[in-house]
Structures are given as C-alpha cells and as structure tokens.
Amino acid sequence: MTDTVGRGVNPTDNDVLIAVMGLTGSGKSTFINLATQSPNKLQVGHSIQSCTDAVECADTFDLDGRRIVLFDTPGFDDTNKSETEILRIIAFELEKQYRRGQTLHGIIYVHRISDLRVGGLAKTNFGIFRELCGESSLRNVVIMTNMWSRLSTEMEGRRRVAELASLDDFFKPAMAKGAVMMHHTKDTVDSAHAVIGHILKNHPIALDIQKEIVDQHKDINQTGAGMALDKKLAQLAHRYELRLKAQFEAAEQARHERDEETMKEQLEEAERVRQLLEKLEEEKRNQARQYQLLQEQFADSEAEREREQAIHEAEEGSHPEARAAEARLRQEAETAERRRAQEKADLEERTRNMHMAISSPSHSARDRNDRDSGKIKYRSIISGETYTLYNKKHELFATLERDNKYLRMKGYEKDARKQWVFESDDGNNWSIKSVQTEQYICVTSQGTLRADTTLFPTLWRLSKISRMRYGFRISSNNWDEYDGRVISVRQLSSRYVQEGARINLYDKVGGDEEIWIIETP
C-alpha cells in the first residue's frame, strides 16, 4: 500500500501493519493522526465531502517496541469515487502487499457511536467489508466506536453499544467469528494506543480477497467482496429502473392532461435517472478490465524495478560481460515501455467499445451454417470433430488441470494436442467436450469455467475472426447473468508459464487473450 502516497515507508517483516476502514466521516484520519502524533497530518474532512480517495500510509511510530504502520482507506460511500472504484483501490493495494509477502496484523473498523440509528448503507457496507476480510480473518478485526464526545452522556453510549452488538444483520455475526468491539471514548493518545495495542498480539492473516485474487486467480468481480458489491449495485439498478418507469408514466399522464410544464419536468428527471443507470451499468462492466490494467501496470513496474537492479549490479560488478548485460537490459526496458504505451492505447480503444455486445455468428448467405453430408458446420468447425484450442496471444494450448476441474494454459508436444470435441444440433449453439475426460466446459454459478459431466452443458457461440482462417471468439449463450462473456486468458506472467494460467469468462472484446485458433490436430 505504500505506493499510493509515496511517504517513503517500506514495511518490513517486523512491522505491525494495520488498516483503518469505515464509512466516510467516521473519523478514520483523525484517529490515525492522533495515534501517530506526526507533524505530517493526513487530511481530515469537516464536511460531507470525502478527503480520502486513495489508500494513504501514515508516518510510522513505535509502540511497545514495535514499529506501527497505519493505512487510511476511503469508505465505500466516498463522495468522489464510485463504490466499484473504491473496491478496486483497496483490493489492489492489498494484493500488492500480499504479493510482496506482507499481510495485515489487523483492521480497525471505525463506527460513529453518535449515529442515532444504523441505516441500510452502514449495514450493506459492513457486509462488503466482511466479505473482503473473510470469516477466518475476522478474529484480527477491531470494531472501534468513535465520537463519544458528541453524546450527551456516557450511559447513552453504553446503551447504543449494547444495541450494536445485538443486531443480527450488523456487528453480531462478525463478533461471533472473533471480531472484538472496543471504544475510543476519549480523544487521547492513550485511548488510541490502547486500541492499537490490542492488535499487537495478533498473528498476521491473509484476507480472503488477497487469497482469491493472488492464489485462486479470480478476477475482482468473482471475489466475495466483488459479488457482495455487485448484489448491492444490482439492487440499486433495479430501483433506478423503477424510478425511470415511474417518471415516464408521469410524463405520459401529464401529456394526456396537456400539462406541458409537468411533462417537461418528468422527462428531464427521467433522463437524469437514465444517465445514472447507464453510468452504473458501465462501471459494473468495466470493473474487471480496469482492475486487470492495474495488475498489468504493477507487473510492469516490478519487472522494471528488477531490471534496474540488474543494471545496477552489472555496473557495480567487474564481470567482463557487464557492459553487454547493461546494454541488453536497457534495450529490454525501452521495449517494455513501448509495449506499455501500445497496451494503454489498445485499452482506451477497447474501453470506448466496451458497451458494444459481442456479436453472435453471422447468419448471412455467405456466413450461415450449412449442412454438408449430414454434418453441422460453422466456418470450418464441424460438429463431432476433434480440435485444439490454441490461444493466439500466449501461444499455448487450453487443457484441464490435473484434477480435471478447471481450465489452464499449457504447452504441449504435437502428438498430445487432441483436446476438445465441438458438438452442435443447429450450428448456432455449441458444446465443448474434453476428449480425455468426456467432461464439458461449463459455467458455474460463480461465473468461473469448470469441466463437468452433465446432461445440460453450457452452450457457446462461435464468433469468427474475419482476418484469421481458424480464429474464433467463444462466448457463453445460455447463462443469463454471464451471457455474452468470452472465454479469455486474463493474465500470464512468467510464473504462470510453469503453473498454467487460469482460463475464465470475461466481458471484454477486442483483445488477443480471447482469440482462439481452433484447428484439427
């Protein structure tokens, strides 16, 4: 998380890393400034506007012989950024730390005790927070009540604490899993350090979102936090749709009553709601791709750092080939920079076209599937025949993991490439079956790809790449939630070349990751 603000803090294995989370205006930044007593204060908001729209690292301080590193995070109700952006920011910073071998000792979730009631926003956002942490890491969570000075009496605060701890849809389930509630009743350094001191005895634990993204290779939408946020956004979209319908009905009623002014007002409001709905849907579509871009940029920056280190070692060394190594590494750095610029331009172009649906196979006279000797065909793919799935960008073949559950990329010898049988009854919808296991490529309820023995396999659309003889995109066809998403290789680093990169569904179009060369072995 240190890359966000650049205060020069590089956590070590002996440091105590603590994230401070909570709603906007709950007092996170004020608490951190009080605890650190640093002259370099984090910005504190005194209005409804959020001041923290990125993960910020405060100056370190010592407590009981340990160096403490506190991270301030934006709330999911941030006024400057959408909830999808906030999840992306927090998840990415957590991922970077996890990839560097560092995990949090604890999380302080700040809640205003002065709030008269707990609304749906607070409950929903705490639910996303729980999914981000995961059940096993809740024992490292401190739920800290704050702003006691705003209450008329301490007894009123104690009453509210009892109520908070009893709510089945708020703090109670987390506390049952090990989270503890503490109270920052006095705005003093000792009070703040008492909360932090409780965390010092914790063993660092990886959060669920870190394990899901790094270890399980899920995209951000498939994580527990991502799905919880998606559910919330789906409910919000439904409310927008109902409001839009109501505005149009009111405008139509005003038209019948010849009330031009009211009709104009209703149509203007309907347009505003329509734009909100459109923006919300666009954010949901772009979330995974935007997160992937962050991952790619991070991978490039890490590679650049390793190259610079190698160049420095070459300059310092006395090996006779040091100068040649330096020149080679500098050339690689320049090539990487050009590649990043091209990828950025490609991403901008793909993002502009993201709203366009993936087209199904053409049914024109030239491209329509035909029947030839009783066999269903689509542009060189024949039902019942065996083919290989070769990824154009990564130049590897699709296969199954050793447990025959998930799809991965591997390199194979020529005689081992017989992999998949394409079957169709009408030439429009195709099933894809493994030759070795006779299992079909299916979409799970979480949207991941899995090999399964089933009577009702997922059906797929084949979209021909006009400039390639055997190039296709393969998109899902019979899962409403995932309809139109393409089979894609999201990322493939040098480490994955050995392990096999996970293949998944992804709602993008235009990149080489989802172009498959389907050929007869």
For residue 481, the model assigns a pLDDT of 53
Buried b (16+ CB within 10 A) or exposed e, 256-275: eeeeeeebeebbebbeebbe
**CA neighbor of 449 nearest in space, from 396, 410, 502, 490:** 502
- CA R_g for the chain: 27
Neighbours of 395 (CB within 10 A): 11
Whether 294 and 88 have beta carbons less than 8 Å apart is answered as: yes
CA 319 to chain centre: 45
For residue 360, the model assigns a pLDDT of 32
Whether 459 and 408 have beta carbons less than 8 Å apart is answered as: no
Given its phi and psi angles, is residue 378 left (phi above 0), alpha (psi -120 to 50 degrees) or beta? beta
CATH topology agreement for domains 16-217 and 371-519:
no
For residue 354, give both structure tokens. 């993201």
CATH for 16-217? 3.40.50.300
Map residue 108 onto helix, strand or coil. strand
Per-residue pLDDT of the chain (521 residues; tens, 9 = 90+): 433 443 445 666 678 999 999 998 889 999 999 999 988 877 665 444 455 567 888 899 999 999 999 999 988 877 677 888 888 889 999 998 898 888 999 999 999 998 878 877 888 889 999 999 999 999 999 999 999 999 888 899 999 999 999 999 899 999 999 999 999 998 899 999 999 999 999 999 999 999 998 999 888 888 898 888 888 887 777 777 788 788 888 888 888 888 888 888 888 887 887 777 777 777 767 776 777 777 777 776 666 666 666 666 655 654 555 566 666 666 766 776 776 666 666 655 555 444 333 233 333 333 334 444 456 777 678 888 889 898 888 888 888 877 777 788 777 655 455 689 999 877 778 999 998 888 899 887 667 788 888 777 888 888 888 777 788 889 887 545 556 688 888 655 554 444 556 788 877 666 778 889 998 87
Buried b (16+ CB within 10 A) or exposed e, 355-366: eeebeebeeeee
**CA neighbor of 34 nearest in space, from 68, 76, 78:** 68
CA 224 to chain centre: 10
Distance, CA of 131 to CA of 326 (rounded, Å) = 46
For residue 355, the model assigns a pLDDT of 35
Output phi, psi for 414, to 5 deg. -60, -40
CATH for 371-519? 2.80.10.50
For residue 97, give both structure tokens. 């730390």
| Predicted model pTM | 0.57
What are the boundaries of each domain within the chain?
16-217, 228-352, 371-519
For residue 353, the model assigns a pLDDT of 47
Query: Where are the strands (E) in 213-267, listed by range?
Result: none
